[in-house]
């Protein structure tokens, strides 16, 4: 019997603010990847509202493949739309 595992889907183009509000568990995943400002409320209210995962990847020099692996380990599927 094959076990089906349903992963939550997130897009590289979704704003960080939206991701964290929709999936609070992502805050720790992203923090562990080096996105330390994610824990600062003011940063989330300003930069987080315009910064996407794709932009954050470039800004923090964290390859999307690394972000994708971490998200997969946390039961998220990263969509490259």
What's the rounded Cα separation, in Å, for the pair 61 and 45? 22
Instruction: Kindly state the helix (H) or strand (E) to which residue 11 belongs, with its residue range.
Output: strand 8-11
Query: What are 34-58's pLDDT values in tens digits?
Result: 999 999 999 999 999 999 999 999 9
Which tens digits make up the pLDDT trace of 7-30? 899 999 999 999 999 999 999 999
The pair of structure tokens assigned to 4 is 């089906």
Q: Rounded to whole angstroms, how far apart are CA atoms 17 and 44?
A: 6
pLDDT at residue number 81? 86
pLDDT for the residue 6: 82
Question: What pLDDT score does 5 carry?
Answer: 67
What is the rounded CA–CA span in Å between residue 49 and residue 59?
A: 15
Predicted structure pTM score:
0.87
């Amino acid at each position: 019997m094959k076990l089906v595992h349903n992963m939550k889907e997130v897009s590289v183009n979704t704003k960080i603010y939206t991701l964290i509000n929709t999936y609070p568990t992502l805050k720790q995943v992203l923090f562990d990847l080096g996105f330390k400002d994610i824990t600062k409320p003011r940063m989330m209210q300003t930069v987080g509202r315009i910064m996407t995962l794709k932009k954050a990847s470039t800004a923090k020099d964290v390859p999307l493949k690394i972000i994708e692996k971490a998200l997969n380990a946390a039961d998220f599927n990263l969509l490259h739309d």
